[in-house]
Amino acid sequence: MNRLAVIVARLAWRNLWRNYRRTLIMISAVTVGAWAIIFMTALMRGMVNDMVRDGIESLPGHVQAHNPGFRDDPSVASLLSSGDAEIAARLDGAGLRAWATRVNVPAVVSSERATRGVTLIGIDPLGERGLSFLADAMADGRALRDADDDGLVLGRKLLAELETEVGKRVVVMSQDPANEIVDRGFRVVGSFDTGLDQLEEAMVFTGKHAAQALLGIEGRVTELAVLGNDFRAVDGLVAQVRALLPEDTEVLPWYELDRYIGAMLDVMDGFVLVWIVVIFIALSFGVVNTLVMAIFERTREIGLMLALGMRPSGILLQVVCESLILLAIGLALGTGLAWATVLPLRGGIDISSVARGMEMFGAGSTLYPELLWRDVRLAVGVVLLLGFVASLPPAWRASRYRPVEALTRSA
């Protein structure tokens, strides 16, 4: 059996190069198709992963814990049942990569010229390092120093809308647990720039203790955010955090907190498969045409081989082997070309010319292609499988020739 496979492979290789121009054209087509599949997949992966990372860094983290009523009523009345100190005692030493507690409430910020609805977020800047975008996105002024800092950090876009600037004072209004209006003047100490207007317009930051004092909830918080090692595998982290907190705490992964971005990952997996199939359908016409022409040119030879005792299964195997060799060469070249194309672009592709449109999808102005080997394996596997299926009709036709008819037809 092994000897037969070697003989069939040699015959298939020699047959491919009888008409080397046609073979080279087909290999070139497969190479370009494989490059298109892998390169476009890397671009789409980069865009989706950028959206996920931006979404995670825009405060959700990989896992969040809230009062069960917080998502329906994100107000100061929906505090975590555990105090700040108790949460710290439970999580310290638990081996978590990073975590932070926050005060996250709706508010209104007013300058001397304009008023905007925002989300007031009281944070401990030391705990937020590596967890959120703020430390790396400062554009002007200074960052918050610690949880006691009573300065205010606004987005660049919000500063423009309020027609104010760093160093000026603004008034922040919100509600306390008794539904009474509370307000306080804050000095704007810094601004941040994320490249996403929707974030810059919506969030204002101050020290956690300053926010607690404003709302009259000393020692209490509305949310806990936890960062894991991989946003694609957070189920274990959810279970770990849930075990550390009281039973009346709602613990959710990021993809349930932001269902749009979570759905994008699932859609992306489906898109990769559909994209591969669509490209190969276009290629399959060329593959089948190449095999049919090769069989037509070798009809007498196939009849002679059958007359000399080769089984029809050997003819079928030979034709299928020709198809798979042709696809394998094209896939190898296409994969190498895609890798060589993606590698220089890992530093990012400037897409600022379409940044407005990308913001609608939650992506930034720089696209970082990401080539995953599982996508490469999927592309290679699907193309080879579909190539095998596409080669069966011409292979079956060749194996069904009757020796006398084949010899007579070519005479």
Nearest to 13 by CA among 30, 34, 27: 27
Residue 410's pLDDT band, with cuts at 50, 70 and 90, is: very low
Question: Based on the domain organization, do 186 and 229 belong to the same domain?
Answer: yes
- Alpha carbons 310 and 304: distance in angstroms, whole number: 9
Question: pTM value?
Answer: 0.69
- Give the pLDDT band of residue 333 (cuts 50, 70, 90): very high
Q: What is the mean pLDDT of the chain?
A: 84
Contact 135, 129 (CB under 8 A): yes
Same structural domain for residues 49 and 70?
no
Looking at the structure of the chain, the number of domains it has is 2
The verdict on 280 and 309 lying in the same domain is yes
For residues 45 and 68, state if they share a domain. Answer: no
49 and 185 housed in the same domain: no
Q: Are residues 200 and 279 in the same domain?
A: no
Question: Distance of alpha carbon 411 from its chain centroid, rounded?
Answer: 60
- 296 with 318, same domain: the answer is yes
Same domain flag for 85 and 232: yes
Based on the fold, state whether residues 132 and 235 are members of the same structural domain.
yes
Find tokens 């931006």 and name the residue: 54
Give the confidence band of 355 by pLDDT, cuts at 50, 70, 90.
Answer: low
**Boundary residue ending a domain (257, 281, 316):** 257
**233, 257, 281: which is the final residue of a domain?**
257
Q: Which domain holds residue 330?
A: 2-55+262-410
Together in a domain, 40 and 73: no
The last residue of one of the domains, among 222, 257, 292, is 257
* pLDDT grade for 273, boundaries at 50, 70 and 90: confident
One domain for residues 39 and 70: no
- DSSP, residue by residue, 233-244: --HHHHHHHHHH
Is the domain of 33 the same as that of 88?
Answer: no
